[in-house]
């Protein structure tokens, strides 16, 4: 009897200890510095926005949030580093469509599955889109006129991209296929090369960020005719979307940005980071800083919302990758 009673007491103590541990851990996370790995070089829009968030997290939790840049290999360097880290919530990742969809869409044989290997924390912003621009030597002032010109002279118009399989390439191929156009693709190594080629008249059109093309549009060297997002950009409200100007219902390539962790990360860490993210993106100074680099804050920061975005992006870019014929194998 004494033995049975002793076992019951020990089990009760173990259960109480486990419960107390969970409670303490939930209260203390994060109890030490957290690293956020991003897949781009310092200075760009993703880097700026993640650092803004890191500062907010540090203020909320009283812990350091360290941003580590790991560019290259189409996000594979950053993803590999995240998946090699312990699933304890102390290594997080910045993600976008390239990170959780395009890489795998271009190479189904990749060693990781975003939906299996990543734990969504939440979306924090959406890009204001990429803009279709035409060089001043092309006699088209609107996207409708550009489409009419392409249909009248099949194969005569070219478009620049930041490389085969880049988001610029995939968006243009989605539009081209939807409209049945014959366009010549001219891939460059980066947007930094594609925009000067457009301004110099080496190609007919290109997709680019608003900040990259605004000075040239202001000088009349190119014209902005449409934006890739499903709704007009508040930064350029007079520019129609591709969906409305070309008559392609549902055409939407707005880029969502989010935070992820390794699958298996404790739910309390996911929940605490998701709540901190929601609080951060609601702050006026964060909204203003996001706007200055062309990012719209997203207030629905739930892990479920990001999980749905990851699934829809995967479906979209698997389809578009097949259309384009692009691979990264």
pLDDT in tens, 266-303: 999 999 999 999 999 999 999 999 988 888 899 888 99
Residue 211 pLDDT: 86
Instruction: Please say which residue of 246, 268, 289 terminates a domain.
Output: 246
What phi-psi label fits residue 229: left (phi over 0), alpha (psi between -120 and 50 degrees) or beta? Answer: beta
Task: Give the integer Cα–Cα distance in Å for 260 and 270.
Answer: 9
Task: Give the integer Cα–Cα distance in Å for 275 and 224.
Answer: 38
**How confident is the model over 301-311, as a mean pLDDT?**
94
96 and 122 both lie in a single domain: yes
DSSP-assigned letter for residue 110: -
The DSSP bridge pattern shows strands 131-135 and 256-262 to be unpaired
Structural domain span for residue 56: 32-127+255-324
Give the chain's radius of gyration (CA, Å): 23
120 and 269 both lie in a single domain: yes
Q: Number of folded domains in the chain?
A: 2
Say if residue 128's pLDDT is above 70. Answer: yes
Structure confidence by residue, pLDDT tens digits, 171-187: 999 999 999 999 999 99
Per DSSP, the three-state class of 257 is strand
CATH number, domain with residue 147: 3.40.190.10
Q: Which of 52, 120, 41 is nearest to 77 (CA)?
A: 41
CB 187 within 8 A of CB 163: yes
Supply the mean pLDDT for the chain.
Answer: 89
**How confident is the model over 224-239, as a mean pLDDT?**
94
Q: What is the pTM of this model?
A: 0.83
Sequence-ordered list of residues with C-beta below 8 angstroms from that of 268, at least 6 positions apart, any chain = 22, 25, 26, 29
**How confident is the model over 143-157, as a mean pLDDT?**
97
According to DSSP, the residues that pair with 133 across neighbouring strands are 206, 224
239 and 286 both lie in a single domain: no
Per DSSP, the three-state class of 66 is strand
């Amino acid at each position: 009897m004494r033995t049975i009673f002793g076992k019951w007491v020990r089990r009760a103590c173990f259960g109480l200890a486990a419960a107390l541990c969970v409670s303490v851990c939930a209260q203390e996370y994060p109890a030490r510095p957290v690293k956020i790995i991003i897949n781009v070089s310092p200075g760009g829009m993703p880097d700026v926005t993640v650092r803004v968030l890191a500062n907010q997290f540090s203020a909320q939790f009283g812990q350091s949030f360290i941003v580590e840049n790991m560019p290259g290999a189409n996000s594979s360097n950053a993803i590999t580093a995240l998946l090699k880290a312990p699933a304890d919530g102390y290594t997080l990742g910045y993600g976008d469509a390239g990170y959780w969809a395009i890489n795998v869409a271009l190479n189904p044989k990749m060693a990781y599955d975003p939906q299996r290997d990543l734990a969504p924390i939440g979306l924090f912003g959406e890009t204001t889109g990429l803009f279709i621009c035409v060089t001043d030597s092309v006699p088209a002032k609107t996207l409708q006129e550009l489409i009419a010109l392409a249909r009248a002279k099949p194969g005569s118009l070219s478009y620049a991209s930041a490389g085969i399989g880049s988001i610029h390439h995939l968006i243009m191929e989605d539009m081209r296929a939807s409209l049945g156009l014959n366009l010549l693709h001219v891939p460059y190594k980066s947007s930094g090369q594609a925009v000067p080629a457009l301004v110099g008249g080496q190609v007919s059109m290109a997709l680019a960020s608003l900040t990259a093309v605004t000075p040239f549009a202001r000088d009349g060297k190119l014209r902005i005719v449409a934006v890739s997002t499903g709704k007009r950009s508040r930064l350029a409200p007079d520019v129609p979307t591709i969906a409305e100007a070309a008559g392609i219902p549902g055409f939407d390539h707005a880029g969502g940005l989010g935070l992820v962790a390794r699958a298996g990360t404790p739910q309390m860490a996911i929940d605490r980071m998701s709540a901190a993210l929601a609080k951060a993106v609601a702050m006026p100074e964060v909204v203003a800083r996001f706007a200055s680099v062309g990012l719209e804050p997203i207030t629905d920061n739930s892990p479920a919302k990001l999980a749905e975005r990851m699934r829809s992006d995967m479906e979209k870019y698997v389809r578009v990758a097949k259309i384009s014929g692009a691979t990264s194998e």
